[in-house]
Amino acid sequence: MAKFVIQQKSPHELTQGNVSTLTEWTTDEGWGPYQRPVDISHMYSGPPYMDAKAFLGFLDDKMIGHAAFFTTGKDGNSTGVMQFCTMFIVEKPFRGKGYGSKILNAMLETTDQSTNICFDAAPNMVTKYESLGFKPEWDNRDYIISLSAIAEKYKMTENMRNVSIKLLSEVEFKKFAEYDAKVYGLHRLVFIKKWSTLPDSFTWVAVNGNGDVVGYITIRESINKQDTTVGPLYSDNLEIAKKLIYTAAQTMSSQTSAKNLSMLMPTGGSNAIQMIESDFGIKCGPNFVRMCSKKHGVDLSKVIAIHSPGYG
């Protein structure tokens, strides 16, 4: 009889084989534009280490499932702490056999139930997670827009003189981190230090005439090299968001082979989805649903696009 065991590790202890397998699974699942091998290794492999744990399910020594979570909110003046579950997946041939539930339960038994536990779920899994006590917060919708269309539509943002766009390296990191915390509702210094320096990524910051941070965008090439993945994109208003999107599109058009911009956008906050659908004549249904054990403290009025499913 096949033996199923769960191993708990620090994510930076994952082998290259583990990372390659996870990449294959997530790419096959359609998560490829958002998560790449460099994401996993960069986020978890080196100092400063994120407060994270991984759970690997093995059937007769074959890895068939994985889940992990990281804790954020401890590295600042946050009033709360969040544990974000990520990369929860079971290889397709082994689904529906209870292995995923065992991995999930092992992970949840380790989390601090007094904190807010959040993750992004496939729409068909929402009912199952609701039965475990989690509640949907918002839908995330994926919009893919050609870089040339953005350049044409948002070129007028070059004339927005009251806001300048600077590379992250040109901005005081403390101000950048404080803006991220104001929008996200938690201080997560270690996380954004790692996320904003992902390989092949760019981060620009919008600064007003008083030197205040009023938005930022991080982008990088997706695994297929045809798309540029945006996330996050935070801004005080939609006009600033347009200028950040335009800056990203101009840079990626000139420096990469990418043809499109991909944004995973939350419903229910900034009216950014209505803006994108109106400006570019596109529609999209829900791709992922944000679910939490407690109310998420994020200021959705300033969230145009999230990082990615699994990283918030």
Please name the amino acid found at residue 235. S
Domain range annotation of the chain: 4-136, 141-305
> What pLDDT, on the 0 to 100 scale, is given for residue 310?
66
Helices (DSSP H) in the chain: which residue ranges?
Answer: 16-29, 37-44, 99-110, 126-131, 147-153, 173-184, 189-195, 238-255, 272-280
Give the burial string for 23-60 (b: 16+ CB within 10 Å, else e): bebbeeeebbbbbbbbbbbbbbbeeeebbbbbbbbebe
The one-character DSSP state at 10 is: -
Asked if 133 and 293 count as a contact pair (C-beta separation under 8 A), the reply is: yes
Asked if 154 and 245 count as a contact pair (C-beta separation under 8 A), the reply is: yes
Nearest to 229 by CA among 20, 38, 16: 38
Per-residue pLDDT in tens (0 to 9) along the chain, 312 residues: 789 999 998 877 888 888 888 888 887 877 655 555 556 667 776 777 778 889 999 999 899 999 988 888 876 655 578 889 888 999 999 999 999 999 999 999 998 888 999 999 989 999 999 998 999 999 999 899 999 999 999 999 988 889 999 999 999 999 999 999 999 998 888 888 888 888 778 999 999 999 999 999 999 877 666 778 898 999 999 999 999 999 999 988 888 788 999 899 999 878 999 999 999 999 887 788 999 999 988 999 999 999 876 676
> What pLDDT, on the 0 to 100 scale, is given for residue 72?
85
Class of domain 141-305: alpha beta
> What pLDDT, on the 0 to 100 scale, is given for residue 40?
66
Q: Is-same-fold flag (4-136; 141-305)?
A: yes
Say if residue 12 is exposed, middle or buried (CB neighbours under 10 Å; 0-12, 13-18, 19+).
middle
CB atoms under 10 Å from CB of 98, counted, come to: 11
The alpha carbon dihedral of 156, 161, 163, 165 has a sign of: positive
Asked if 199 and 38 count as a contact pair (C-beta separation under 8 A), the reply is: yes
**Would the pTM count as exceeding 0.75?**
yes
Q: CB neighbours of 67 closer than 8 A, spacing ≥ 6?
A: 54, 55, 85, 86, 87, 88, 89, 103, 104, 107
Beta bridge partner(s), residue 231? none
Please name the amino acid found at residue 90. V
> What pLDDT, on the 0 to 100 scale, is given for residue 196?
87
CATH of segment(s) 4-136 = 3.40.630.30
- Three-class DSSP category at 30: coil
> What pLDDT, on the 0 to 100 scale, is given for residue 292?
94
Q: Any idea which residue has 């804790």 for tokens?
A: 71
Which helix (H) or strand (E) segment holds residue 293: the answer is: none
The 3-state secondary structure of 58-120 reads EECCEEEEEEEEEEECCCCCCCCCEEEEEEEEECHHHCCCCHHHHHHHHHHHHCCCCCEEEEE
CA separation for the pair 299, 3 (Å, rounded)? 46
Q: CB neighbours of 86 closer than 8 A, spacing ≥ 6?
A: 67, 68, 69, 70, 119, 310, 311
